[in-house]
Amino acid sequence: MFELTNKKAVITGGGSGIGRAIATLFARQGAAVHILDISEAACEGVVSEIRELGGTVQAHACDVAVQEAVLACFGAIGPVDILINNAGIAHIGKADTTPEADFDRVMSVNVKGVYNCLHAAIPQLRANGGGVIVNMASVAAWVGIKERFAYSTAKGAVMAMTLSVAKDYLDDGIRCNSISPGRVHTPFVDGFLAKNYAGREAEMFAQLSKTQPIGRMGRPDEVAALALYLCSAEAGFITGSDYPIDGGFITLNN
């Protein structure tokens, strides 16, 4: 079950965190993995890990916010079977405290970046007889989270794009779903704590963990396992759905 042998998968933002976990797991399950990240240097660790496991992987330096670069990258990769739109950036701020430049930056990566990859990949998926797309949304698209105005806006757009793509390409054999993680322990979390709570990292880590009703943060490999299922033949009856993986955050945090 959950084999991806002979499948070619593109994973954006695959150099670290959730993207890295997805890339590693997909390679273990037989996929030829192509990682898109802002620089090849950002992918060195995961590329080495996958190759040590005997997997097939190639890294591509690509700014997903630049359509010309994305089209060139997908053109070099060739026909694909799976697209994981994972690349994204975070932002803290309310509507009246978010500078225009920050808002535009979040939209360019988290919304336009997803669109650019969809725009490039869908013709290849169609030509390949179909395939699977998984977009990384967020619990921030489901519930209000303090001081996440731009980020929530972007992830709401990702969820809406998921529904639109799922509807538009049913007849082409393309399935499209999204995943909405809660708080997941990634290098971003550690960097955020070090920057904003120097000397109090352990205390704040515990506080952030408790915001998930299950009592801890998620792990990247847990999100990767869900992505694997959604991209596998076993999920062939699933499209146009969002899957929260949030330790009960959406439904139990009352």
Contacts (Cβ under 8 Å, ≥6 apart) of 89: 105, 106, 109, 110
Contact between 70 and 99 (Cβ < 8 Å)? no
| Amino acid letter, residue 130 | G
Q: Catalytic site residue 197?
A: no
Pairing of strands 32-37, 82-85: unpaired
DSSP state of 33: E
Give the number of other Cβ atoms within 10 Å of residue 5's Cβ.
Answer: 8
Residue 145: exposed, middle, or buried by beta-carbon count in 10 A (0-12, 13-18, 19+)?
A: middle
Residue 174: exposed, middle, or buried by beta-carbon count in 10 A (0-12, 13-18, 19+)?
A: buried
Which residue out of 151, 169, 229, 243 is catalytically annotated? 151
List strand residue ranges (DSSP E) for the chain, in order: 8-12, 32-37, 56-61, 82-85, 131-136, 174-181, 242-245
Residues marked as catalytic: 151
